[in-house]
Structure 1
C-alpha cells in the first residue's frame, strides 16, 4: 500500500502540473530553485518525471524497483529541502506543488506533508530492497485482498472527482448592482516607505491623487508578469490615478524589475497586505476623497480585470476644463 500511495500522489501531481504548466513554472520562481536546474526545461520536464516514475513504481519488477525507489526518495528529499528553505524567506511563498489543485502558502503543513512523503519513499525503498514489487504483490493477492485494492481504487477515484470537479460559475452582477453593492469605506491606516526615503500613510499618499496600489512579491511568477504591465497602466491612468507597486521590504523594492523604479514602495511589517487581508498579487484603489474607490482584489487575472475596469472608468470620465 505504501508504493501504491506514492503512485497515486506522483500521478496526481504530474497530471495536475501538465494541466497547469504556468503554475509549475511559477513554483520554480517562488521556491527559488537553484540555477543548477534550469527553470524552463525543468518545469517542462518535472510533470513527466513524476508520471513516468509513478508508472515505473507500479509496473517495475523487483530487480528494477530499487533504482526507481531511489529516484522517488531523492525527488521527495529535494521537495522537502526546497520547502524548508522557502520557509526562511522574508516574504510569504506560494507554491503550486500539485499544479492548479495544490496552490497554497508554504508553511509548516506543507513541510509536514513533504516529510511524510519522504518517509513513505524511504519505506518503498526498504520494500524494494527486500525483493518486493507491486506486480508480485498483486499476483499473491487472494479474493479479499483484491476487494481491498478495489475499494482503495474507488476511494481514490472519488477523491479525484471531488478535487477535479470545476466550481460552479457564479454570474457576474450587472454594473448597476455593483455600484449598489459596493459600500465605500474610509481608507484604513497603513504606511508606505517611498523610494526617496519618505514614509507616508495611505491617506496622505492619496490626498492629492487617487492611487492604485498593486501588492507584489519579488519571487512570484504572477507578480513578475503583473509588474511588467505597471508602466503601461501608469501611463494610461495618468493624471487621474497614480500607480504604486507595493513590495514587502526595501531590498525587493529597490531591486524591482519590470517597471519604472519610481513606482516602487515598500510596506513596513507587511502592514498594507495585512490591513487589506490580501496575498500578492493584489490591488486596491484609494480615492482622493479619503475613501476606498475599489477593491481589494487578489490574483493575477483578478488584478488585470480590476485595472481594466478602472481604465474604462478613467476613459469615460470627462477631461478637466482648461
Structure 2
C-alpha cells in the first residue's frame, strides 16, 4: 500500500465548523448488529457474506496501488479491496492501510484462523509495516487482490513459500467491529451517524429537514435521536459537556476533539468514537470514517468527553 495516499488525504485545512479532508478512503454504509456473545451462527453468516462479496468481484477488478474505484470496472489494492468488501456488508474497517488494519480486532494465533480473519504479510526488507493483507475463507485458503497480473484470486496457504516466509500475524475483526446485541446507546449513536453518510451535508448552517448541518448541528442531531439533548452551538461548547475521559478508555459514543494548530486548546474538529480506534467525523466532504491511529489525529488530539451516562 502506498502510504503517500494517506499523507495527501490529511493535508487539510481546519475551520471551526468543518475539516476539509479529501475523501480518498471509502466509507462504511452502516454499523453491523451482533457480537461474539450473541450468536456464533450469525457471525459465521456475516463471514460468508464477506466471502461471497469478495468472490463476486473476481474478474471484475484490476490492481492499483494508487487509485481506488468502487464502481465497475473496479480498482483496488490488496487492502482497499478488503475495505470495500467489509463496507458492503456493514462492517467498518475505517482504513485501507494494512498497518492500521493490523491494530484492529483481536490477535489470532497462526493456523487458528476462522472465516473472515485478516492475515498480514511483509516481503519488503525495509520498514516495519506489513505490505500485504488477505482474507481467510476456510480450508486453508484465502482470497486476495494479489498483484497486477493475478488480480483477485483464491489461494491455498501451502501453494507458495511466500505465505510461510513472509507471514506477520492475523487479526479477527468479526465480531469485534460489530455492535452489541442488544445494541447499547453507544452502538445506536454510532449506527445512526453512519446511516447519515450518504444523506447529510456538512456546511455553515443547520436545517435538519433538509439534512444540512454544521458539524456541531450534526452531533446534536445524532445524539437527539437517542433522546440525549446536548445542546450546543459550537465545537467549544460541545467540549464543555460531559465528563473527560482518557484516550485509553474511549467507548462508543464518546466525543473526541481535535485542533487545527498543534498545542492549541481550541477545538476545530469533533468526531464520534465508534470503537476499536474508529472515528465518525462530520467534515465539509460529508460524514466520514477514519481511524484514530492516523498521524494527524495523534498530533492534533485535544481531549475526549463522555456524554452517555449509562452504556
Please confirm whether the aligned pair reaches a TM-score higher than 0.5, indicating the same fold.
no
Q: Higher Cα Rg: structure 1 or 2?
A: 1
More helix by share: 1
Higher RCO by CA contacts (8 Å cutoff, separation 6 or greater): 2
Q: When the two structures are superposed, what TM-score results if normalisation uses the length of structure 1?
A: 0.24
